[in-house]
Amino acid sequence: MPSLYQITVPVYARFLTQLAGMLDKATAHAEAHKIKPEALLAARLFPDMWSFAEQVRATCNHATRGPARLTGVPIPEFNGKDSSFAELKARVEWTLAFLKGLKPEQFEGAGERQLTIPLGEEKRTMTGEHYLLAISIPNFYFHITTAYDLLRHNGVPLGKTDLVPI
């Protein structure tokens, strides 16, 4: 089985690079069709769901919080804003820089390590492996896919390979 490093850092980085490209395409689409960027940033699939900007933020949060918790490093905080495509792209680039700073040896023993994670109003303790496979990875994919879906739904010309790096 691959190491926890191998199934987090390089995978998250590949998909985040795709997300940066989707942000570029969304910017170009908005400009070409004279769509206010705020309309795409605030787009939702349903009123009680998070907006596109929140989906990007959550994607980046799972890509930083998961590996940070597994390695025991402090969870970094992004000090930028999320009110434009450029700011969201800066968040993605910041997340990529954080991931590049992590080393495989920091993940040694992370699967067996006990982690206490806030889940809503409660906290749960679980192994690092359970956290990664049941929470971090599924949430990362959920939010990046929802961001993709929101852009596609709003006419941004994206295809499967804009999300899934082949």
Domain 9-163 has CATH 1.20.120.450: yes
| Cα 35 from chain centre | 25
Residues of the chain with pLDDT under 50: none
Instruction: Supply the pLDDT for residue 28.
Output: 98
pTM: 0.95
Number of H helices, E strands in the chain: 7, 2
Task: Provide the pLDDT for residue 27.
Answer: 98
Residue type, 115: L
CA distance 88 to 147: 12
Pairing of strands 122-127, 114-119: antiparallel
Q: How far is CA 79 from CA 40, 42, 82, 88, in A?
A: 22, 20, 10, 12
Q: What pLDDT is attached to residue 120? A: 87
Q: What is the pLDDT of residues 77-118, one digit of tens each?
A: 998 888 999 999 999 999 999 999 999 999 999 999 999 999
Q: Residue ranges per domain, the chain?
A: 9-163
pLDDT in the model for residue 2: 85
